[in-house]
Structure 1
Amino acid sequence: MSIRVLIADDHAIVRSGLSMLINAQSDMEVIDTAADGKEAVEKALQYRPDVVLMDLSMPPGENGLSATGRLKEAAPEIDILILTMHDDEEYLFRVLQAGASGYILKSAPDMDLLTAIRTVKSGAAYLHPSATKSLIQEFLQRVQKGEEIDNYNVLTEREQEILALIAKGYSNKEIAEQLVVSVKTIETHKTKIMEKLHLKTRPELVRYALKKGLLDFD
């Protein structure tokens, strides 16, 4: 089965070029394109692609960072690969926190982009080599400072909200009703939360939430 890709970029020539590249692959197909973040979210929710290739900057419309956060809350099962000109760790951390599965530069070779699409579709994260170096340096600096490594800030706002509700004892069905989403969506969020926090059981989630001060029942 082909990897179904939605391309979001404000330049028509870029959308056309990327479409030609991706459609030339035997295991991929472009199902549609979008010119800004708002259109990308709308079409992603309509067509449910496997991967959204999201440009980070799309003036004057909604940017890729904002769209990524909104789309991951609405459809966490859709993987988002950020395509950008910015080789800057500030952008890297912001897109990962928003829920993106990968980050690749527009200057990267075509084969790297295709590899990135296949990687995020497989469930793994893809980071451009320079981005990986930034992450490692940041990690080592925090270790050297004696800081505890905590992935809580990598969770989206919706994932943080669901984590607190799970820890308070609400079932997936109850959380789904409270947030007006499907049970399947909650289950997908829960899986992502446990992956990001490197936790395996519900009791571990509860202990983590207690440590983070998330069990305020007021």
Structure 2
Amino acid sequence: MTRVLVVDDQDLVRAGLAALLRTAPDITEVSEVRDGEAAVEAARRQRWDVVLMDIRLPGMSGIAATEEILAKVPEPPHVIVLTTFDIDEYVYAALRAGASGFLLKDTSPRRLVEAVRVVTQGEMLFAPAVTRRLVEAYTRQPASAADPEALPELTAREREVLRLVGQGVGNDTIAGRLHVTEGTVKTHLHRIMSKLSLNSRAQAVVMAYESGLVVPGQSR
């Protein structure tokens, strides 16, 4: 059962999102706040599974609020950032902050509810193609070969898993390519995130690009 916090400064948008989420049988609690400061306070005061965070907020931005929540809340929620445009100048910053993905504000009701369910399972909510498009748009890596020796704190197998995650490959497909179980892939991911102090799969994608394990335009 899932608890969701909706953060948006537009009253009608916020109320509409909350009302929609309350219709889902597996979402047990929905609360609303209108700015970043209130979101941080709500996250400190009560445990939430998912936060729907508008990027553009008065005062503390959605990016700053996301960073604050993920860095300082003991059991941080998964954060989904909300944006008006499919390529927003702030989306990459949100991924770097640890958000689990993003949704457009005109997304369908079914997609919204499904996104909440997906991130609670530790996955990113947007398609791999969108992941690659976002990262390629906001990184400035040179068009050179990937560095197989990047991130020396990882084992060779962990680097391979991270490389595939960075290319937008799902856990089940990674398991098939490496001839291991999906549970083993999740164990590798847990160790990768622990070693690199990452909070989300989205941050792992960004790390794969920034470390040189994956370069923009690289095929899977």
TM-score (norm 2): 0.62
Residue of structure 1 in register with 2:131 after alignment: 132
Contact 1:82 1:104 in 2 (8 A): yes
Q: 1:190 aligns with which of 190, 194, 207?
A: 194
Say whether 1:53 aligns with 2:52.
yes
How many residues in Structure 1 have an aligned counterpart in Structure 2?
Answer: 162
Residue of structure 2 in register with 1:43 after alignment: 42
Call closer, same or farther: CA 1:26–1:197 in 2, change over 3 Å.
closer
Gaps of 5+ in 1: 153-186, 199-207, 209-218
Contact 2:92 2:138 in 1 (8 A): no
Shift of residue 86, structure 1, vs aligned partner? 2.8
Shift of residue 97, structure 1, vs aligned partner? 0.3
Residue of structure 2 in register with 1:117 after alignment: 116
Stretch deviating more after TM superposition (106-115 or 131-140):
131-140
Stretch deviating more after TM superposition (64-73 or 99-108):
99-108
Q: 4+ residue stretches of structure 1 with deviation over 2 A?
A: 89-92, 127-133, 135-152, 189-198
The structure with the greater share of residues assigned to helix is 1
Call closer, same or farther: CA 1:30–1:58 in 2, change over 3 Å.
farther
TM-score (norm 1): 0.63
Shift of residue 131, structure 1, vs aligned partner? 3.2
Output the aligned Cα RMSD: 3.4
**Structure number with bigger Rg:** 1
CA–CA separation in structure 2 for the residues paired with 1:109 and 1:151: 40
User: Equivalent residue of 1:126, what SS?
Assistant: coil
| Bigger relative CO (Cα 8 Å, ≥ 6 apart) | 2
Indicate the percent of aligned positions where both proteins have the same amino acid.
Answer: 31
Shift of residue 89, structure 1, vs aligned partner? 5.6
Call closer, same or farther: CA 1:150–1:18 in 2, change over 3 Å.
farther
1:69-110 deviation digits (Å, cap 9, x = unpaired):
010001253111111113226422210101101111112211
Contact 2:21 2:30 in 1 (8 A): no
